[in-house]
Structure 1
Amino acid sequence: MARTTPPTRLPADVYESAVAAAGVTSRTVPQQIAHWARIGRELEMSPRVNHREIIRVLAGTGSYDTLGEQEQAIVREEWTARQSTLRGTLNYADEFTANGESYSEIDENGNVVVYPARS
């Protein structure tokens, strides 16, 4: 018999982060959230990983250089997830166009393409 799980409410930022990360990791959103939950569970239970120091570094109040190799790997993974989420929200082309500013990009062949300002 299949086991069902009760619905769970998530903060919007967690859900949006999971959507962005799921696209990068080829997981579904529920799979991504479950993945993060397993990592969190293991971190908090691990005697070898100082999750308090990881939290301090992620909050900007601790030093990355004082972390051990495992803690640094965890921090880098979180930074990557945060960057992916942020990149998904940025659209400089629309912003420049809305502000009437020109901008340039590199195309797939390495050529500079200039988009002039529009009034």
Structure 2
Amino acid sequence: MTRNSQPTRLPADVYESASAAAWVNSRTVPQQIAHWARIGRELEMSPQVNHRQVVRVLEGSISYDDLAEQEQAIVRQEWTDRAKAHRAALDYASQFSAAGESYSELDEDGNLVIRSAD
């Protein structure tokens, strides 16, 4: 008999990132984590991609320009995914409301809308 899943402990930041990315990508959190795991597995096994160099760029220890084109594409996608996850997790309206501050924003037509503190 094969197992469909096995309980695994994850660091909170990984779970939170997966949760945000899952929402953006219309996946469940477990589906998002499995997706990332498959991508990571393929990257590490790929003879065409220097995984260590990609990781070093993502850590900020070497320049993006030091990568080959395919590696640069992987880094750009990771940056895009991280930015989407970060934007999805932002909730300025709640933060301003909790602080009792008003704020302004543009509506879908580009018109200024002022949100009061109350």
TM-score by length of 2: 0.83
Cα distance, 1:106 vs structure 2? 0.7
**% identical aligned pairs:** 69
Q: What's 1:16 paired with?
A: 16
Matched, 1:71 2:78: no
Change (3 A) 1:71 1:2: same
Q: What's 2:39 paired with?
A: 39
Cα distance, 1:101 vs structure 2? 4.4
Change (3 A) 1:3 1:99: closer
Change (3 A) 1:112 1:41: same
Cα distance, 1:90 vs structure 2? 2.1
User: Unaligned stretches of 5+ in structure 1?
Assistant: none
- Cα displacement string for residues 35-90 of structure 1 (whole angstroms, at most 9, x for unaligned residues): 11111111111111011111111111111122122211211221122212222332
Alignment of 1:87-98 (within 5 A): 87-98=87-98
User: Unaligned stretches of 5+ in structure 2?
Assistant: none
The 2-side partners of 1:108 and 1:5 are apart by: 42
* Counterpart residue identity of residue 109, structure 1: D
The 2-side partners of 1:26 and 1:76 are apart by: 21
1:113 alignment partner, SS class: strand
- Cα displacement string for residues 6-61 of structure 1 (whole angstroms, at most 9, x for unaligned residues): 21111111111111111122222222111111111111111110111111111111
The alignment's C-alpha RMSD in Å is 2.1
Aligned residues: 118
The 2-side partners of 1:23 and 1:99 are apart by: 27
The 2-side partners of 1:91 and 1:38 are apart by: 30
Q: What's 1:5 paired with?
A: 5
- Which stretch of structure 1 is more off in the superposition, 99-108 or 77-86? 99-108
